[in-house]
Amino acid sequence: MDATFIQQFFNALQLGSLYALIALGYTMVYGVLLLINFAHGDIFMFGAFMGVLGSWVFGWGFVPTLILSMLATALLGVTVERVAYKPLRAASRLSAVITALAVGLLLENGMLALTGADPRKYPDDFFATQVYQIGSVSISTVKLLVIILAFALFVALFLFVRRTKWGMAMRAISYDKFAVPLMGVSQDRIISLTFAIGTGLGAAAGILWGVAYPASLDTYMGMLVGWKAFIAAVVGGIGDIRGAVIGGMILGFVEIFVPYWGQGIGVSSTWRDPVAFALLLIILVIRPTGIFGVARRQKV
């Protein structure tokens, strides 16, 4: 295998990991509330900007900044749910979707007003990059960081959802929320916890995005990335966390390899997004519920 292929493979793994981290936030919230949190892309942006706060304003290094961002963003996520979504739980799906879009606009424009329109980047020494040379393949520590940290978070999340009683409660709510309180479980607490985890993962993606793609931090960064991650979640089967990871990876690989192979046959890289989305649409035509999705039972 040639070296550029392997390098592209790592690029795809990196991008896919980031989409997957964001897609998890959509899918977890959908799992417990059947709500598509259209503000999630902007939550991701908020997480990245908490990184600006930690690194530039507080002068902190990567790890404390990451933790700060995840906690602050989780708090934001829980607050948004309490203030904006909870009052609408009994309302129509449409009101909730419109509210989510409005929350997103509020976050984007609020952040714009606070920080201005100039794109930001993290300090150069925020995460010291080294490049390893293995044979003719070179790989940066940033790429390794993104991939390893993302996979560590996936594994932690899977274990949490599989093994702990809170994880069981999340799965139970997504199956049939009627009976969950009868088990002695406060539904509100499980919903808050789900928002905290989903938005915390989005924040981690935001910080890693800023490290992986410097100078890409602006207050609208969450729009396109958020849409793509949402589509990844749908392709994987929204509501299913394995699906979010697989869907994110598929999208990452398509986005990297379409231009890579397209180049060879003379296709311009502007075809990246159309081809990526066409492929995702094809998957959805074949499996309308996504790769891992099951048709939802209608329960009263």
Closest CB 90 distance from other proteins, rounded Å: 12
Residue 293 CB, shortest distance to other proteins, in Å, is 13
Q: Which is nearer to other proteins, 145 or 168 (CB)?
A: 168
89 sits near other proteins (criterion: CB under 8 A): no
- Give 184 or 264: the residue with its C-beta nearer to other proteins: 184
Nearest to 241 by CA among 17, 14, 26: 26
Binding mask 167-206 for other proteins (x = CB under 8 A): -xx-xx-xxx-xx-xxxxxxx-------------------
- For the bound state, the minimum distance from the C-beta of residue 174 to other proteins, rounded and expressed in Å, comes to 8
Coil/strand/helix, residue 73: helix
Residue 11's SS3 state is helix
Window contacting other proteins (CB under 8 A); options: 81-89, 166-174, 227-235, 256-264:
166-174
Q: In the complex with other proteins, which residue's Cβ is closer, 185 or 254? A: 185
Minimal distance, residue 178 CB to other proteins, in Å:
6
Structure letter (DSSP) for residue 213: S
Nearest one of 19, 24, 20 to 239, comparing CA atoms: 24
**Strand 137-140 versus strand 131-134 pairing type:** antiparallel
Q: Are 250 and 233 in contact (CB under 8 A)?
A: no
Q: How far is the CB of 190 from other proteins (least distance, A)?
A: 10
Q: Contacts with other proteins: how many residues (CB under 8 A)?
A: 17
Q: How far is CA 272 from the centre of its chain?
A: 20
Strand partners, 138: 133
Enumerate residues 112-131 that contact other proteins by CB under 8 A. Answer: none
CB of 166 to other proteins, least distance (A): 9
Question: Residue 34 gets which letter from DSSP?
Answer: -
Closer to other proteins by Cβ: residue 5 or 163? 163
Cα distances (Å, whole numbers) of residue 246 to 16, 17, 18, 229, 267: 9, 9, 12, 11, 26
Q: Which is nearer to other proteins, 78 or 185 (CB)?
A: 185
Compare residues 134 and 297 and give the one whose CB is closer to other proteins: 297
Report the C-alpha gap between 250 and 253 in whole angstroms.
5
Determine the angle formed by the axes of helices 221-236 and 93-115, rounding to 10 degrees. Answer: 150
Residues that bind other proteins (CB under 8 A): 165, 168-169, 171-172, 174-176, 178-179, 181-187
